[in-house]
Amino acid sequence: MPDELISVAEFAGQLGKRKQTLFKVIRRLRIEPQKLRNSDRRGQRLSYITVDESRLIAAELRVNSETHDTGATASAAASSLGEQGVFYLLELEPEHDPGRFKVGFAVSMPERLRTLRCSAPFTTVVRTWPCKLLREKTAIDSVTQGCDQLHTEVFRTESIEPVVQRCDQFFSLMPGLKNSK
C-alpha cells in the first residue's frame, strides 16, 4: 500500500470522529475512497484516502465545527453522542402490516430511508422529531411501552397513534431542540 494513503477508519480515530461522519463529508466533497485489501485484517477491504484528501476533510470538519460550535469542549465520544439528527417513526409495510413499525435515530433521514428501502421498500415516514444520538435508546424504551418487540428497533402495535402521542410527549420534554414535522 502506498505511503500517501490513510484508511478512513484510522483517520476518523485520529480526529476523534465516527467513520460514518467522515464518509458523509467524503460524499459531500465528492471524494472517491480507494478500496484495498488489508493484509492485517484477513483480507478485509478498507476505504483509503490520500493525505491531500485527508487535509480537505479536516478543513471541512473545522469549518463545520466553527459554524456549529456551542463553545463546549467534550471528549470525542461525548461529542458523537451529542450529534444531532432526528428520531424517526416509520411504518415498514403500511398496507399489509400497519402495526409493524421501526424507530431509531438518523443524522440524515433521506440517507437512512435510502438504505432501509433496500430491505423494506414500502417504508413510510410517520413522523420525525429533533433528537440527539445520546437520547435514542431512552426514547425507544419510552415510546415503545406496551408494544411487542420483533427485532432491535422493530415493534408491533395495535395502533400507531398512541406511539406518535408518546413520541410527542417524550420530545416535548427534551430541552434545546426545535420541533420537526
What are the residue boundaries of the structural domains of the chain, listed by start?
5-68, 81-172
Q: Using one digit for the tens of pLDDT, what is the confidence trace for 128-152?
A: 999 988 889 999 999 999 999 998 8
Domain covering 5-68 in this structure, CATH number: 1.10.1660
d(CA 102, CA 89): 6
Q: What is the pTM of this model?
A: 0.57
Cell 420541533 belongs to which residue? 179
Q: Using one digit for the tens of pLDDT, what is the confidence trace for 24-83?
A: 889 888 899 998 877 665 667 888 898 888 888 888 887 766 544 443 333 344 445 567
